[in-house]
Structure 1
């Protein structure tokens, strides 16, 4: 994914962008009545009752302002509730929800449409033909509002709930994991073994890598007639001393700047190119549910089901004859052991004293053990044995520990 495309996708998820676009569309619809007035016969205004449009716009303006304010308050409340019940990392997915953004943007745009129409009517800008255009536009806006309200009401029934949060995180993690499984190196070569050469480039910022423009790295490598081997991948936390890449050539200052510019580094991790982040967030939800203050084993079990589905994607074979778009760039494969550590280690620790969670955890690992490669199976066995050891210490009854032991994987 190029940097420009990544920026556009990231910008499109912002609430203000959709609201601004809908607002501009609403204003343009009101102004269209002025432009199209010469094309509309004046007699149509009497036939369709366009003189009453002022009252309709007054109702729309007052009601849409109230609905937009209520919707914004509801969304903020849902963000706070989801952050408290699950994990603050879920809020990012709720904020970028397209249905919620479209609803709020529609209400704001309808309000501005009504406001501009009222001002234009009172200023005497519209003639008889213009009132017809405004009347037709108002009817279309009302239809859009009704459909949006119906969808918004349906969304509010589950927006920000624990189950909705798990589903959203699972979807984001599955999308990133599917991209990773089908094309493990994002169009570059897979790096095997330690990187060659003794030249490297460090970051000039501290934070998490959110996106890497491999096309920019390919251009630098081509110009230097060498290879670039990534040391840090999306999701990695980098500082000023840790190498971002290793090179077998010596880049000039412009090349170093281009390499650093290819890495978008922020304060937080991103779901897009970082499949491990979705796994970490799912594990956080389970651990929050298993805390003494919540003590909700059912949510933890539901989260284990989501983790089972997400990690099963990682077990899928990569695409055959995949196209290598960046021939001079080498990317290390995802470490399966680390993914299993992210997914299950914290859950086995937090749920060690819960028999139900321990049983589901062992069954989940056994399911993953059956479908993966040797590395996949080895990681499942390690987490299974680790969970068993913790259960033996935390479970008060020997019979309960024996049930976990009967399900545990062995070498």
Structure 2
């Protein structure tokens, strides 16, 4: 039962990131609201309003038909325009920044909710339109339902105004990177907090029993509490082999167990791994490094040449790297001072190398960006870190960057600046 609950939560988390989730939810609410109003009309709510507050009720069938038809036409036009703006945003982000940004932009709840409000109101008006009986009898016109439709249309107009404001902000690369940075920061802080409760002691799993996945996908969420319950019950320990966020192929070893497991237990354990087909920063902080790195690389490509965006991206990377320094290299999770699960993670040295390998290619010829990156390295060396061995990785990346810059820059004055940065950093470049 608990495994089913966790799988349901994982499924809900996946569909929630789809662009059709909130519009579909609001559409159902709109239809249900129409049926609720049918019930209230049967109970005589329009008759009551005509008798007590007549100026709020449209009591003429022809007028009601005209109003609803005009509202529906306007709302459909607004919805088409809003949807076109969302597609324009996604196209521009993909072409100018990185296609990897699209899942985060698609999962923007503001755009989905506004489209859902439009759709709910349109469907509501369609159902109310069917209920109007143009016979001239004032009590056969659903006056209260029409009033609710008018109020819903007013809400849609204000939602449209807010949509224009929000879309103009969302399309700016600074806001896009800020959103990515904030999601990754939340995820990293949560992992650092979990590290403080974890243990560093875990036996070698070299000769343990190995079990493979039965499907392919990105390893996103893992139900740690369920896995610890299974380990406690079966008196075993589990070593999760793939790094969270990596693409796991069918048949590739997924985890190792200290004790041999029966087929039923294996299936229960596999049910606690969520293999998705899309990546989200909220599930995997490493994706934030990839996305910001790709924005920097795209900004410095010859076709775009936007060093200002690259400088902003380096600022965001600096803060994320400083947070990553506080995280342990491997997560060992336990309960009651007993270690149950070990989860592999990307080491800091590997992470900073992968990021800098891409950035150096497009930034080594620009002395301003080289200076900015050196400032980043200096800042990282001053930070508190979980593993002091990361200092060597930072020095190595700084030395590699300055060597590449020296071989790419031909201007004498810029070369002197590179030499001075190396001396200030305490490095001897080739």
Superposed, 1:97-176 pairs within 5 Å as: 97-122=108-133, 128=139, 131-176=142-187
Alignment of 1:3-18 (within 5 A): 3-18=7-22
Moved more, 258-267 or 386-395: 258-267
Q: Structure 1: how far apart are the matches of 2:181 and 2:284?
A: 13
Q: Does 1:62 align with 2:76?
A: no
Match of 2:90 in 1: 79
User: Partner residue of 1:222?
Assistant: 232
- 201, 221, 243: which is aligned to 2:211? 201
Corresponding residue of 2:342:
330
How far is the alpha carbon of 1:188 from its aligned partner? 6.1
Counterpart position of 1:212: 222
| Cα separation, partners in 2 of 1:19 and 1:64, compared to 1, 3 Å | same
Match among 383, 394, 399 for residue 371 of structure 1: 383
Query: Which of residues 414, 425, 428 is equivalent to 1:400?
Result: 414
How far apart are the structure 2 equivalents of 1:133 and 1:97?
34
Single out whichever of 25-34 and 220-229 deviates more from structure 2. Answer: 25-34
Is 2:373 the counterpart of 1:361? Answer: yes
User: Counterparts of 1:181 and 1:123 in 2: how far apart (Å)?
Assistant: 66
Partners of 1:128 and 1:120 in 2: CA distance: 12
Q: What CA distance in whole angstroms lies between the structure 2 residues aligned with 1:389 and 1:123?
A: 83
Q: Is the Cα–Cα contact under 8 Å of residues 10 and 274 in structure 2 kept in the other structure?
A: no
Offset of residue 324 of structure 1: 4.8
Displacement of 1:75 in angstroms is 0.9
| Residues 1:264 and 2:278 aligned together | no
Range 234-243 or range 270-279, more displaced: 234-243
CA contact (8 A) 2:103 2:278 kept: no
For 1:307, the equivalent position in structure 2 comes to 317
Q: Which runs of 4+ in 1 moved over 6 A?
A: none
Match of 2:290 in 1: 280
Question: How many residues are paired up?
Answer: 406
2:100 is matched with: 89
Q: Is the 8 A contact 2:244 2:345 kept in 1?
A: no
Aligned mates of 2:421, 2:67 — CA distance in 1: 67
Query: 2: distance between equivalents of 1:317 and 1:333?
Result: 10
Quote the residue 1:50 is aligned against. Answer: 58
Checking the alignment, whether the CA contact within 8 Å between 2:213 and 2:254 is kept in structure 1 is yes
Aligned to 1:33: 37
Give the Cα separation in 1 of the matches to 2:316 and 2:256.
Answer: 36
Distance 1:340 1:380 in 2: 8
Question: Given that residues 238 and 255 in structure 2 are in contact (C-alpha distance below 8 angstroms), is that contact kept between their aligned partners in structure 1?
Answer: yes
Which runs of no fewer than 5 residues in structure 2 stay unpaired?
Answer: none
Report the counterpart of residue 355 of structure 2 in structure 1.
Answer: 343
Separation in 1, partners of 2:261, 2:122? 55
Give, in angstroms, the shift of residue 190 of structure 1. Answer: 4.8
Does structure 1 conserve the Cα–Cα contact (< 8 Å) formed by 2:311 and 2:372? yes
Cα distance, 1:267–1:14 mapped onto 2, change above 3 Å: closer
1:345-403, CA deviations, whole angstroms, 9 ceiling, x for partnerless residues? 31122211111111111111211221132244333222211211211111112432332
Q: Any stretches of 5+ residues in structure 1 without a counterpart? A: none
| Separation (CA, whole Å) in 2 of partners of 1:359 and 1:113 | 59
Which has the larger displacement, 92-101 or 142-151?
142-151
Q: Is the 8 A contact 1:196 1:247 kept in 2?
A: no
SS in 2 for 1:209: strand
Mapped to 1, the partners of 2:292 and 2:14 lie a distance apart of: 22
CA shift for structure 1 position 95: 0.4
Relative to structure 1, the CA distance from residue 33 to residue 301 in structure 2 (aligned partners, 3 Å threshold; closer, same or farther) is same
When residues 190 and 257 of structure 1 are mapped into structure 2, their CA distance, relative to the original with a 3 A threshold, is: farther
Deviation at 1:18, TM superposition (A): 0.9
In the alignment, the residues of structure 2 paired with residue 130 and residue 378 of structure 1 have an alpha-carbon distance, to the nearest angstrom, of 79
| 8 A Cα contact 2:93 2:101, kept in partner | yes
**1:217 positional shift:** 2.4
Equivalent residues of 1:188, 1:324 under 8 A apart: yes
Quick one: distance in 2 between partners of 1:23 and 1:268? 25
Quote the offset at 1:74 in angstroms. 1.4
Q: Which moved more, 1:150-159 or 1:350-359?
A: 150-159
For residues 214 and 420 of structure 2, the distance between their equivalents in structure 1, rounded to whole angstroms, comes to 51
